[in-house]
Amino acid sequence: MADEGASARSRVPLQQIVAAPGDIDREELREIYKIAIDEYRFEVTLNWQRTQHYLTLNLALVAAAVGLLRVGGTDYPLLVALLFVVGAFFAKLARKAIKTGHTYYRRAAYKKTLIEHLLGRLHPIPGYTHPGANLAIATTVGMVGMTAANALLDDPDMWINRPAGRFTVTGAVLSMLLLIMAVDFAASCYCAIAAIYSWWK
């Protein structure tokens, strides 16, 4: 009978999963918090690695197109124009991928902050005045302190979907990719006009 009682306690009825009544076991919440932290770190690492790859690829495409233009691009202007168009396409794709990855990171940050709130880790530690004087893991300025955490928890959709700040690393990378897109587009137009002009000569 004791084994049957233990087995019954280890199972969760379906209606409890759907409705989630009652309190959450603190130990279980701590285990979920560890997973949330791992996911948060994973998203940060993955996004930075992807960003490096995207920047390297886009700069390499620009360098290849410019190099080809210098050594013989006037003979094959449409080929060089096509290379610039491909570069612009990849820059646009990179911007979209970085924005999507940043959204994933913010969702992981929200989940982490929500669990920290349930564990009571967002409360300020007495005797300290710094906004980050609590037991929450807050790595960015937008996550430090109760005010930032409350803004995140009160309206998570707004916090997750807001544009990257201009003066953040992500914002700077997105601006750089936009500049690369503009250069690629302008250069492809120049090559196309050069090709048309050479045909009419």
Q: How far is CA 81 from CA 61, 72, 78, in A?
A: 12, 13, 5
Domain count for the chain: 1
Kindly state whether residue 2 falls inside one of the protein's structural domains.
no
Kindly state whether residue 4 falls inside one of the protein's structural domains.
no
Kindly state whether residue 17 falls inside one of the protein's structural domains.
no
pTM: 0.77
Distance in angstroms (rounded) separating the CA atoms of residues 47 and 53: 10
Kindly state whether residue 143 falls inside one of the protein's structural domains.
yes
pLDDT tens-digit readout, 12-43: 443 444 445 556 778 888 899 999 999 999 99
Domain, as residue range, for 139: 24-200
Does residue 100 have a pLDDT over 90? yes
Neighbours of 190 (CB within 10 A): 16
Kindly state whether residue 10 falls inside one of the protein's structural domains.
no
Kindly state whether residue 87 falls inside one of the protein's structural domains.
yes
Kindly state whether residue 11 falls inside one of the protein's structural domains.
no
pLDDT tens-digit readout, 121-164: 888 888 888 877 777 777 766 665 566 777 788 888 998 898 88
Kindly state whether residue 30 falls inside one of the protein's structural domains.
yes
Percentage, residues of the chain above pLDDT 90? 35
